[in-house]
Structure 1
C-alpha cells in the first residue's frame, strides 16, 4: 500500500474513538514492515498510551527498521504520558509518515525535528485536509481554548424551523433525527435556549443505547425563566453536570434553586440587549475543557452566536416541505444585513440524503480549521 492508502487506514482507526476523547486528538497509527501491517493502535481514552505507542507495542520486535504511519505528529513533551518520540526512536523505527503537524504549541514541529535529529526519515504532510478535518475540534481548541461550535438546524425547504405558533415537531424525518443523536454523541455539549426548554422540555441526551456518552447540556437563559424541574436536569449515566448560563437578572433565589437541582450555574455578563454575553459564555465553557458544542438553538440564540463569530460549522437538515409566512420562524433571527456583501460566506459544502431529508454541511468562511503552524 502507498502512503495515502496507509493514511486512510490510520484515519479509520482514529475514528473509532469519536465522542470519547474530549479535547484530545483522534489519532490512529500503523507499524508497517515489508509491505504488511505488523501492529496498529489508536488513542482511546485520556491518560492511556498514545496511538503510536500502542502500535509499536503490538508490532513487538518487528518495529525495528519499520515505517510508522499516523495522522498526527508524535508528541515530544511530558504530559499524562512520556514523549512518544522517545518510544519511536527506542523501538528502532526507520521512517515516519505523518498526516499533519500537531498545532499544540508544545509540539508544533518539534516532534518531527526530534525524530530527524535521531536519524529517522520523516514524510509529511500526507492527506493533510482529511487529517485536519478529522481533528477540527482539537485544532480549534488547542490553539484558542474555545469550543468548536457546530450549528445544527432542521428546516423546511424555505428555511423555516417552526410554524408561527412555534410548532417544530417534527419538521424532519426519523432518519434525520437519528443522525442528530449521533452528532450529540460526538459532542462535549449540546446547547439550547430558554424558549426550546419551555416549549419542548427536552432531555438533551444522545438516544443511541446504554453505552453512549451523552453531551453535557447547556441551557442559555438570561433571567432563568425555565423550570428547575426541567428534564435536562435529571441525572443520567455518562452525562456531565448540566450547565445553565444566565445573568444577574435571574436573582439569587432562582440561581440557588437551579444549583440545588443539580446544575452548574454560570452567572455571566450581559450584552447590550440584556442577554447572556455569548463570548463570555464560550470562554467559560473552554475553561471547563468543553471542546465541542452542538448548537441546537432557536433563531435568536443562533443569531447571537453567528454574529459573535463563534460558529465554525453549519449542518442543516432540509425537509421536503414548505411553510411560508412572514411569521414562521427562520433559522437565524435578527434583522439581517441590508447588503448581500455582508452575507456570511460558507465553504466546503457537502450534501447527502438522510432518509427523506437532505443533510447539508459547510464551514463558516474559508476555514476548515484555524491555521496550523508552519510545517517542520
Structure 2
C-alpha cells in the first residue's frame, strides 16, 4: 500500500467518528503529513464545527507549512460561520492537498480545488473515492437527491418474523445485536418509525449504553395523533412528527438538513419504503429461532406481481453477532 492510500485510509477512519453527529454538514476526516510524520489530525466536530481541516491545522501549528493534507472531501470554499477551509490550508502554507471526492454542494463544487491550485498548491483528486462515497452516502444523497440516505433495520427470526402471533417479541435477537442497534442509531442523524409502531410500542428511539452522546432526532411518520413519547432532554433527541407519504417526509427531512435516517419499522412503513425505492441500505439481525407462518412478518404485503419487480440489494457484510447473524446489504445500482 502506498503512503498516499495509507494516509487517506487514516482520514476515512477519522471521518467515521462524525457520522450521526455533524448534520447538516458532511463527516470529514483530515490528516496532515510532513516528511513522513503525522503532524495534525482532525474530523468534523459535533454540530458540524470546527471542520476537520481546521482541527488538523490547529493541531499542527507551524508544522503544517510544506505538509500534505489528506482530506476525505474537497475543502469548502464558501464563507459561512467560519472561513473556508481551502483558505485555511492556503494560509497555513501546505504544499499539497489530496482529496477523495469533489463536494457536490453548489457552494463548493470544484471551487475549493480551484482555490488551492490558484495558490500554487498541488492537488490530487480521487484518492479512495469509492470508499469515501460510501462513507458520505447520506450527505451526497441530501445534496444530489434532496433526501437523506435511508437504512432499514430488520431484527427477525430465521423465517423473517418480528413477533409471535400473540405479539410477543422480547427478545428475538440477543444482547449483542440489540447493542449494535444502539451503535447504528448513534451513527445516524435520525431514527424513524411509523405511526403503528409509535402507538403499539411507544419506543424511546434513543441511544443507550454509550455514555453522553448527541441523541438522534426522533421521527414518526403519522397522519393522525400518536401517544405521548418522552420529551426532548439529554437522553432523547427532538421529536418530529411528519405527515404525508414517505417520499414527501424524506424530502422534508432533507430540507431540514438530515443526511442519514435509521428506520426501525414497522412493517407497513418498511413495505412502503421498499416499494418506492427509498431504502439505500438494509441491515438484518437474524436469530436462530423459527416462529412459523402465523408469526408477524417484518414487512407488510407489497403486492408484487413478479419476482423481477422485487427490490434487489447487494451483500456488503455478514458476520456473527453474539448468537445472531448480522447481514448488511446495499441497493444495487
TM tier relative to shorter chain: over 0.9
What is the CA distance between 1:308 and its match in structure 2?
Answer: 2.0
Q: Pairwise mapping of residues 1-376 of structure 1 onto structure 2 (< 5 A)? A: 2-46=3-47, 48-224=49-225, 226-227=226-227, 230=228, 232-237=229-234, 239-245=236-242, 268=243, 276-325=244-293, 327-366=294-333
What is the CA distance between 1:130 and its match in structure 2?
Answer: 1.5
- Given the superposition, is the C-alpha separation of residues 300 and 50 from structure 1 closer, same or farther in structure 2, using an over 3 Å criterion? same
Please say if residues 275 and 311 of structure 2, whose CA atoms lie closer than 8 Å, have aligned partners that are also in contact.
no
Structure 2 equivalent of residue 256 of structure 1: none
Please say if residues 20 and 260 of structure 2, whose CA atoms lie closer than 8 Å, have aligned partners that are also in contact.
no
What is the CA distance between 1:180 and its match in structure 2?
Answer: 0.5
Q: Which deviates more, 83-92 or 232-241?
A: 232-241
Give the structure-2-normalised TM-score: 0.93
Aligned length: 332
In structure 2, stretches of 5+ residues that fail to align are none
Please say if residues 28 and 70 of structure 1, whose CA atoms lie closer than 8 Å, have aligned partners that are also in contact.
yes
Counterpart-to-counterpart distance in 1, 2:48 and 2:73: 18
What is the CA distance between 1:150 and its match in structure 2?
Answer: 0.7
SS in 2 for 1:362: strand
- The structure number with the bigger radius of gyration is 1
Counterpart-to-counterpart distance in 1, 2:148 and 2:168: 30
What is the CA distance between 1:143 and its match in structure 2?
Answer: 2.1
Structure 2 equivalent of residue 272 of structure 1: none
Counterpart-to-counterpart distance in 1, 2:46 and 2:30: 15
Counterpart-to-counterpart distance in 1, 2:315 and 2:141: 17
- Given the superposition, is the C-alpha separation of residues 112 and 178 from structure 1 closer, same or farther in structure 2, using an over 3 Å criterion? same
SS in 2 for 1:332: coil
What is the CA distance between 1:338 and its match in structure 2?
Answer: 2.1
Give CA-to-partner distance per residue, 1:170-214, whole Å, 9 cap, x none. 111111001101111222221122332333222221112440222
